[in-house]
Amino acid sequence: MYLFLYLPLVVVVAYSFNQSRLGAEWTGFTLHWYQVLFADAEMMRAAWNSLVIGLVASVSATVFGTLAGLALHKFRLRLLPVLIVTPLAIPDILWGVSLLVFFVLLNLTLGMLSVILAHVAFCISYVAVVIRARLSGMDESLVEAARDLGATAWGSFRFVTLPLMAPGIIAGALLAFTMSIDDFVITFFTAGVGTTTLPLKIYTMIKVTVTPEINAVSTLLMVLTMLLVLAIARLSPQIPSGKP
Amino acid sequence: MALLEIRHVTKRFGGLAAVSDASLEIQPGEFFTLLGPSGCGKTTLLRMIAGFDVPDAGQILLDGVDLAATPPERRPFHTVFQSYALFPHMTVADNIAFPLRMAKVDERKLAARVAAALGEVRLQDMGTRYPNALSGGQKQRVALARALIDRPRLLLLDEPLAALDLKLREQMQSELISLQKDVGITFVYVTHDQGEALALSHRIAVMNEGRVSQIGTPDEVYEFPANRFVADFIGTCNLLDARVMALDGERVTLNVAGLGTVRAWSSRPCQQGDRGVLALRPEKIQLDRAPSSGGEASHFLGTIRGQMYLGDVTVYKVEIGNAVLVEALLPNSTARGARLFAPGDQIYLSWGYDAGRFIHDG
């Protein structure tokens, strides 16, 4: 089953180094397609857009998501958990269509801004869930101990809660960045005409013809995503959370 | 004047009263223990002293000044938590320095004080370690050093030894006693372990169902329990239904169900006809093959029904008459002590007139 899952990926990586233009048979190793890729101005612009959107969206979503995660942990609210978790279950296509209609209603011109807003919206939930998981693993008496030893409410947050939350915040930010840079469906609906991200660019190229250049860009995207996922996994259990 | 005074404090969670109308005074330099079964309100009371919980009614006063408006960080108290609550992202030295940093103590003076505190708890070489790399006993000592470094007026300890194994617990008990003597800081100690309370405390407040049942020195609460609960909770105690037939000051003559006339002391003033229990500690009962003579003592003939060997002592279950079953405890003063009596043996029980306590109901 895993073979079935990963074999196509391996094929894409392998053929990104293939000399043949048509891709069917192996004719020799080359880095030619990577050179083509980096010389492709449109592709580079799409990559730049993806990067900007990913960074702005993940940073904003991390701020809001962290606050939401703190609220989820601190107050035993009824509605907020539902509001936070539901977006994770809503299909992307629904997100895409509803955000598009919403932006049109607001008379917002579709472009970078609308894509960023859309990405922030769906990334908040991921960050909030990661933060809450991190906080629920924390010994409650640590905050009380800080107060008891002379820290104010702010001081106990600054010196105890925040440092213990930090790995969760970083993991949440990386997760949001991964979600943003890989997103196709929601971006497709909210990008408008002028703005192209990497996944959108790949899609339009594939409609014309499959060139090894697509294999090359897919390989790079895959490597980036894997590195991020690895970083998230490494961060999660690394620093002890203080449970006795 | 008392260092800390608790006046008619009540705390409810939902509809349930965790602490109801508790009053007590803690004197400077005292090792004071709140003792009771889980759910008796002792931890809630401690949390109210620390400032984590706010009383619904009543006052907590330090040097006669109400603490109601003082947040935890401004109370000159520190707590040693059951889970130790060491900050996992800080080294041992940073943990211990935390109260000083919060008080904005000069960083240059700080290092020397932290080093001294580490020495006090014999962890000189552990300053750069993280709490996760420490054993339970070491964590305990770091928690103590951290809580004592800026010399609080009161040290609050919430079952600090509960997580340690028996040998280490005994060792930490004597360390706590000498530490308290050395630093001269008032300790308020919460525990459900009556043995620990007796061993450590100057005075004990026994708590039950949110109320203070009795306050006294360890021997007072052991020898003169104020009520049935205290007699039963502290140590083991034979409790036999009884009624006052005659009295002469604190000495009472009782009619005990199944035994007849027994003489005892009364913990509180009582009247003829009062109902209650005769409380008799197992170690105060003597067992003999032949009837002993002693004018004032109570004598009964009984049958050994059960025997439990505990190493230092042997506990016998003895049936008197046909209904009354009492426990008696004999030290195993010789190697053959355990086989002194066997189930089925007829023996004589006796105890001095001052061994039994009459506790009247209500």
What is the ipTM metric for this complex? 0.82
Among the three residues B205, B228, B251, which one is the final residue of a domain in this structure? B228
**B206 and B170 within one domain:** yes
Question: Taking all residues of chain B, what is their mean pLDDT, rounded to a whole number?
Answer: 91
Could you report the per-residue pLDDT of B116-146, keeping only the tens digit for each?
999 888 888 889 999 999 998 899 999 999 9
**B216 and B175 within one domain:** yes
Could you report the per-residue pLDDT of A30-47, keeping only the tens digit for each?
888 888 888 888 888 888
DSSP string, A57-97: HHHHHHHHHHHHHHHHHHS--SHHHHHHHHHHHS-HHHHHH
**B287 and B212 within one domain:** no
Q: So what's the pLDDT on residue A242?
A: 41
DSSP string, B258-321: TTEEEEEEESS---TT-EEEEEE-GGG-EEESS----SS-EEEEEEEEEEEE-SSEEEEEEEET
**B222 and B243 within one domain:** no
Average pLDDT, stretch B161-166?
86
A146/B89 CB distance under 8 A: no
Average pLDDT, stretch B314-332?
89
Task: Locate the chain B residue with the closest alpha carbon to A166.
Answer: B89
B99/A150 CB distance under 8 A: yes
Please enumerate in sequence order all residues whose Cβ is within 8 A of that of A201, keeping only pairs 6 or more positions apart, or say none: A42, A43, A46, A217
**Tokens linked to B84:** 């130790």
**B148 and B53 within one domain:** yes
Task: Locate the chain B residue with the closest alpha carbon to A145.
Answer: B85
**B201 and B242 within one domain:** no
Torsion angle, alpha carbons of B286, B288, B293, B294, to 10: 0
Domain count, chain B: 2
Task: Output the pTM of the full model.
Answer: 0.82
How many other β-carbons are positioned within 10 Å of the β-carbon of residue A148?
A: 26
- pLDDT over threshold 50, residue A53: yes
Percentage of chain B with pLDDT > 90?
66
**B333 and B193 within one domain:** no
Radius of gyration of chain B (CA): 25
Nearest by CB: B102 against A144, A155, A239? A155
Cα distance between residue A169 and residue A140, in whole Å: 19
Residues of A in contact with B150 (CB under 8 A): 150
Q: Is B238 on the interface with A (CB under 8 A)?
A: no
DSSP β-bridge partners for residue B78: B155
**B162 and B301 within one domain:** no
What CATH number is attached to the domain comprising B283? 2.40.50.100
Cα distance between residue B54 and residue A159, in whole Å: 25
- How is chain A split into domains, by residue range? 41-235
Query: Is domain A41-235 given the CATH code 1.10.275.10 in the classification?
Result: no
How far apart, in Å, do the first and last CA atoms of chain B sit? 32
Could you report the per-residue pLDDT of A131-188, keeping only the tens digit for each?
988 888 888 899 999 999 999 999 999 999 999 999 889 989 999 999 998 899 999 8
- pLDDT over threshold 60, residue A28: yes
CA atoms within 13 A on the CB side of B278: 31
Domain that includes residue B314, residue range: 236-360
**Tokens linked to A19:** 């000399």
Question: Among the listed ranges A196-200, B203-207, B296-300, which one has the minimum average pLDDT value?
Answer: B296-300
Q: So what's the pLDDT on residue B192?
A: 95
- pLDDT over threshold 80, residue B293: no
SS3 A9: helix
Q: So what's the pLDDT on residue A240?
A: 46
Contact of A29 with A17, CB cutoff 8 Å: yes
Among the three residues B228, B256, B285, which one is the final residue of a domain in this structure? B228
